[in-house]
Amino acid sequence: MTALGAVFRPQLPPERLRDVVRVADEAGLEELWLWEDCFREGGISAAAAALAWSERVRIGVGLLPVPLRNVAVTAMEAAALHRMFPGRPVLGVGHGVQDWMGQVGARAESPLTLLREHLDALRALLRGERVSVQGRYVRLDDVALDWPPATPVDVLAGAEGPRTLRLSGEAADGTVLTSATSPDGVRRARALIEEGRLAAGRDAGGPHHVVVYLLTATGPDAPARLRAELVAEGLESVPDLGVAGDADAVAKAVQRLAEAGADTVILQPTADEPDPEGFVRFTAREVRPLVP
């Protein structure tokens, strides 16, 4: 079955999160995703609050930009969330928006190398291993978590370009794709991820979970809001991106992504969505029953 969720966009102030989380939990939403976009809300702090305010909804963070984070801190925070709220956090890491990384003096000369080193060390630490490594960016000397997760957890990687998609297949447990990914883009991403898995000898090592955001607008002004967002992102000429319409139209767009290889589809409201709580209810109560 295709998992379905929604995004709490960080264009909303953090004090709005509590109401949205409670609606998500009450409405039966499967997953609510948060973003650590500079310079808005912190991903881990927001996720911890969201998990504490809810009982059942899974909380995703997509993504934590690795140039901002020492891998040991990422591991400590991830392990704490997984132990306090087992089965409900979903964490993804990525190399970050390079302009933002430059603004804070954290821009890496080789974002791909940094992401690979971070993924390797983070996954090892979360497995409870003792890690010593002297990489180009990641350096650890006899580091192990006192409180690793009690059960194995997945680490997802955000990826767009071919090299990063292959790396995600090699070094991550799953991949997060942006809303700029059409169904054909999901197919291409799956093929590149599988190339990476094969190169790393991981093709028989279990499933690789693919999450994709779907830019979604509903309501009487939905087509105009969707088009305005695509224009603002420079994506108006890309075919088959986003969906505007009622629950049936949205469910069909979700199904197209699922048929292309997405395991989880997360509905991403437009930045000017007038009713975030209503969007969550729409996702859980109207779209979910229509998605196989």
Lookup: tokens for 227:
């088009």
Q: What is the pLDDT of residue 203?
A: 75
Q: 3-state DSSP call for residue 236?
A: coil
Beta carbons of 159 and 167 less than 8 angstroms apart: yes
Predicted TM-score of the model (pTM): 0.97
- Nearest-angstrom CA–CA distance, 165 and 191: 9
In the chain, the amino acid numbered 26 is E
Q: Which helix (H) or strand (E) holds 240?
A: none
Alpha helices in 127-246 (DSSP H): 162-171, 183-199, 222-232
Q: Where do the domains of the chain lie? A: 3-290
Predicted local confidence at residue 1, as pLDDT: 86
Tokens of 219: 């309501």
The answer to whether residues 68 and 106 touch, using CB atoms and an 8 Å cutoff, is yes
CB 242 within 8 A of CB 270: no
Distance CA 148, CA 7 (A): 28
The residues of the chain scoring below 70 in pLDDT are 204-205
What is the C-alpha to C-alpha distance for residues 263 and 7, in angstroms, rounded to an integer?
16
What are the tens digits of pLDDT across the range 41-77? Answer: 999 999 999 999 999 999 999 999 999 999 999 999 9
CB neighbourhood size of 66 (10 A): 28
Q: Which two tokens stand for residue 218?
A: 């509903």
Tokens 């088009």: give the residue.
227
Instruction: Supply φ then ψ for residue 80, to 5 degrees.
Output: -60, -45
Report the mean per-residue pLDDT for the chain: 97
Please state the three-class secondary structure of 77-133 as a single string.
HHHHHHHHCCCCEEEEEECCCHHHHHHCCCCCCCHHHHHHHHHHHHHHHHCCCCEEE
Query: What's the pLDDT score for residue 204?
Result: 64
pLDDT at position 28:
98
What does DSSP assign to residue 215? Answer: E
Contact status, residue 34 vs residue 46, Cβ threshold 8 Å? yes
Architecture of the domain whose range is 3-290:
Alpha-Beta Barrel (3.20)
The single residue listed with the structure tokens 């709490």 is 8
- Calpha distance 220→241 (Å, rounded): 19
pLDDT at 202: 86
How crowded is residue 130: how many other Cβ atoms within 10 Å of its Cβ?
A: 11
